Homo-oligomer: A and B are copies of this chain.
Amino acid sequence: MTGTRGYECSPWQLLWRGLDLSGLTQTESTFALSNGHIGLRGTFEEAEPRGLPGTYLNGFYEEHPLPYAEAGYGYPEAGQTVVNVTDGKIIRLLVEDEPLDLRYGHTTAHHRVLDFRSGTLRRETNWTSPTGRRVRVRSERLVSFTQRAVVAIRYEVEPLDGGLQLVAQSDLLANDPIEAETGDPRVAAALEAPLHGEYLTATDHRAVLVHRTSRSGLRMAAAMDHEIEAPGGSDLRTDITVEDDLARLTVAVDVAEGGSLRLTKYLGYGWSAQRSIPALRSQVDAALAGARQTGWEGLLAEQRRFLDDFWASADVEIEGDPELQQALRFSLFHVLQAGARGESRAIPGKGLTGPGYDGHAFWDSETFVAQALTYTLPGAAGDALRWRHSTIDKARNRARQLGLRGAAFPWRSINGDECSAYWPAGTAAFHVNADIADAVARYLAATGDAEFERAHGTELFVETARLWMSLGHHDPHGGFRIDGVTGPDEYSAIVDNNVYTNLMAQRNLLEAAASCTRQPDVAARLSVGRHETAAWLAAADAMLVPYDELLEVHPQAERFTEHARWNFRATPASAYPLLLHFPYFDLYRKQVVKQSDLVLAMHLRGDAFTDEEKRRNFAYYEALTVRDSSLSAATQAVLAAECGHLELAYDYFAEAALVDLRDVHGNVRNGLHIASLAGAWIALVAGFGGMRDHDGNLSFRPQLPPDLERITFHVCFRHARFRVDVRRGEATYTPTDGESVSFLHHGETVTLTGEAVTLPLPEPADPPRPAQPEGRGPARRRPLPAADAGASPGTATDAAQGDATGAAHRTADDP
């Protein structure tokens, strides 16, 4: 295990110095590169040693049967799993006939850098072969944000004492065997060697492989081309070979001391469900042509410009906690990588950083990732929502299959078809539909993108509203009820009147009616009549929100507060995550919360609660919430801040931001928790910034936690971009671009035109810290001074609290 020991603190980089082979699987995730279309895990160029190699194309999957010992109507029959596609980043090296393999010989120096501004992964290794030959290897690689089909790698080897024969083998490798993670032989069979070779060619320094999956019938092409330089080299020979699953350029050269062998490798990737072999081949050839025309330096320059733009509108600064500063930029960088160039493909729960969750996208793509992107890179948020809209026919069919009207979007999917094999925590979690509508409403309010509304938004609102009307009903006791559904908290299921679901459905119905009023012709095309919108408004008006008069809190769902409380005292730390040690039935029927549910309702539908209710509810649910999901800490940070618990908010914020760097849930090997990383931004901006967007109105209630000196973040809203600086006692809003914008600051209207505005902050309240379940509180965050942080990063929190349960629990947590 790596822990965080290997990461060094640096504001704009993730830096790992030294060689730790046991942690490779984890660092392959954190060092992954992606542009939302192509993803490469951070495996060494030499292919081995390796953890879990992976190259992914967004949307490219194989199907497999979903087995059921007892089947049921409407159960999805086919699963989808992201495929590890043709690996083009492999460059094997032989040093005087000795393969460079870091498990052998001596590695005298080694570091890797993921650079958030250059958008590259750099690596430098000094290696002595078992026979005593010394070389320095430097590599840098990028997945281009500007040329989305392109990957480029620069690989350079220098002999360190005396001339050497160097042989480099640059590969395209398909069907690399990887240990299966499934126990089902049918699934394993479908995913073993999932690619069938359809076409291959190789000439000069170029090669193309085209493959197709058996069941899903998707076709992909990978191509490579190379530039070879060998200053100080002699007798350079190259050879290219190709077979079904392997294309290889071999370069052999004698390099004198002071000379080097430098390979620049360009990769082009493409896939399609429909296009022919020649069409796909042309596509990747064209990508390579573009890349070679731009050239390595040109690609680097484009990459940096793209990132300069991104950071100008999205950067976050934290003064007083250098490790969190790094973690926040790491988070935003990976959120960007997950969402940047997906272009009507999903944003999977793990982005393209690993095979976790089978590569599926869930509700958190809208609720967390799209929320952060809406205010930092709105175009990417729009793209993610366009993907949802592109699957609306599948969602309509699913609703029909379930006996419902409107559209029922899948709980987990790659192509839009439901892949959830356990319906109580899958299909029954209908809130995903309101979450999509909420993300659409947020995006529309933040961008004013009427074209999007007309083409996608209104239809998404209408079809999800129709779903709620068929899911709910007006009961004879009064009120519009939504029965038998599952809210965000997966330690409850199949409940009546889940407050989160009902409030989000209410917003969904109101937004649908409002959108139909704004876009009457679209509404007419969708056959929305006056009676239908009136019914939506009536249901929204009558929406049941249960309340426990005795305890004076909102039950998460009806009768929740009458259930037995989980016996936390009798639950040892080793029994978390609970779902691996207790049956669902026991979790479902007791008061124990996996992840924010009612608390998330108080964030996203904060307008539906009084301040007093928020305080009481927050305290009540804090005592029940175990955070066995990575989707919880960020939301708890937001509400902790709103309720005045700034230290607690800071602790949760740190947990969300460090979720992957500290491997809090013990499963970063499978990929990063993109929603938690987006949640770190939310914790900062909605937590300490107090940003809310209820009904499309922007407001801030900035507060500074005691341990920080200053927080700065940027917001895109409508045609304005502005920066918010929160310091002790005051906050400054500075327009950076675009038009004027209005919002509330602690309840007071501010209109930002050309000038910065500085406003005072209220005194912090500092109410007593609420209690968490035994051993489940977040680790108390105590930032180190910058000087120390650089020397011994990431040890502060661990040292501060012996308990440190945050780091102890490991989970197969599903979002």
Contact = CB atoms under 8 A, between A and B. Distances in A.
A137 to B, nearest CB: 43
Contact of A583 (B427, B585, B590): B427
A40 B667 CA distance: 54
A273 to B, nearest CB: 24
A583 B423 contact: yes
A73 B582 contact: yes
Given A67-B67, A79-B69, A422-B70, A583 B402 contact: yes
Contacts of A686: none
A484 interface: yes
B494 A74 contact: no
Nearest to A474: B564
A801 to B, nearest CB: 29
Contacts of A559: 483, 496, 558-559
Contact of A562 (B424, B477, B583): B477
Given A67-B184, A475-B564, A73 B589 contact: no
Contacts of A583: 72-74, 401-403, 423, 427
Given A494-B588, A585-B428, A564 B72 contact: no
Contacts of A79: 69
A66 interface: yes
Given A483-B564, A559-B559, A563-B483, A550 B585 contact: no
Contacts of A403: 582-583, 586
A68 B183 CA distance: 9
Number of this chain's copies in the assembly equals 2
A683 to B, nearest CB: 30
A293 B588 CA distance: 62
Interface in A236-264: none
B586 A402 contact: yes
A72 B584 CA distance: 7
A177 interface: no
B562 A421 contact: no
Contacts of A586: 402-404, 484
Interface string A545-566: 0000011000000110011100
B185 A550 contact: no
A157 interface: no
A184 B69 contact: yes
A206 B67 CA distance: 46
A496 B588 CA distance: 11
A580 interface: yes
A588 B74 CA distance: 14
Interface of A: 66-70, 72-74, 79, 184-186, 401-404, 420-424, 426-428, 473, 475-477, 481, 483-485, 493-494, 496, 550-551, 558-559, 562-564, 579-586, 588-590
24 contacts: A69-B184, A70-B421, A72-B422, A72-B579, A72-B583, A73-B581, A73-B583, A185-B185, A403-B583, A404-B586, A423-B584, A423-B585, A427-B583, A428-B585, A476-B562, A483-B563, A484-B563, A484-B585, A484-B590, A485-B585, A494-B494, A494-B588, A496-B563, A559-B559
Given A73-B579, A73-B580, A74-B583, 9 more contacts: A72-B584, A74-B582, A185-B185, A423-B583, A476-B550, A483-B563, A484-B590, A494-B494, A494-B589
